[in-house]
Amino acid sequence: MPGSIPEQPSGQASRIEADDSVDVALMEKVARGDEKAFRQLIERHQHAVIGTVARMLSDPHEAEDIAQQVFVRVWNAAAKWKPEAKFTTYLFTIARNLVFNESRRRSRKKEISLNQQEENNPALTHADGGMQPDQRIEKRELHQSIDRAIAALPEQQRMAVVLRTFEGLDYEDIARALDTSVSSVKSLLFRARASLRESLSDHLERD
């Protein structure tokens, strides 16, 4: 995770462009009040939005509420939306604004415990199913350490890491989502990865 991530191959880039064309066509219908097209957009992107928000706030319960707000804003703004960037970039820009607002609002509240996050992460539980008890414990400790390390990053760094590592956005799209420059995104990721390497040094040395 803290290491570098390869650029998207040309085939993947073509698929992303095709996916964006679908999103643009759906948004044009949403702008005309097409509720079926809106439901399709939600089905296509709700998992990514919920996952991003959950990683940013360390709160899987709050993530669904924030994700609903993201899509409500998409619906309300559809008539004025212009495809100046990929739809997913637009979506994550809305998510960023809501997440940062929520993060500041609850900055003094105690965050959900990592154990509670794990209980609410069925994917992780399922993935551990075939492991020996000691392997499960070791894997969960690693996931907890990664979650803590990411949660400790400053907001901008944390969002850049989540969008790059978990959602696979390129530098340009991350820059648009964070309303900054590509060089700033690279700097954010460089500093974030340095912090993550330091935080996870015990696990890296163990491996």
- CATH number of 105's domain: 1.10.1740.10
pLDDT at residue number 153? 92
Closest CA to 85 of 188, 176, 159: 176
113, pLDDT greater than 70: no
Assigned domain for 147 exists: no
pLDDT digits (tens, 9 = 90+) for 166-183: 999 999 999 999 999 999
Is residue 188 within 8 A of residue 156, CB to CB? The reply is: yes
Name the domain count of the chain: 1
Angle between helices 171-178 and 182-199 (to 10 degrees): 100
What residues contact 127, with CB distance under 8 A and at least 6 apart? none
Domain around 82: 7-109
What residues contact 185, with CB distance under 8 A and at least 6 apart? 160, 171, 174, 175, 178
Assigned domain for 182 exists: no
Assigned domain for 129 exists: no
Assigned domain for 161 exists: no
Residue given tokens 């964070």 in the structure block: 178
pLDDT at residue number 122? 45
Assigned domain for 50 exists: yes
75, pLDDT greater than 60: yes
pLDDT confidence band for 4 (50 / 70 / 90): very low
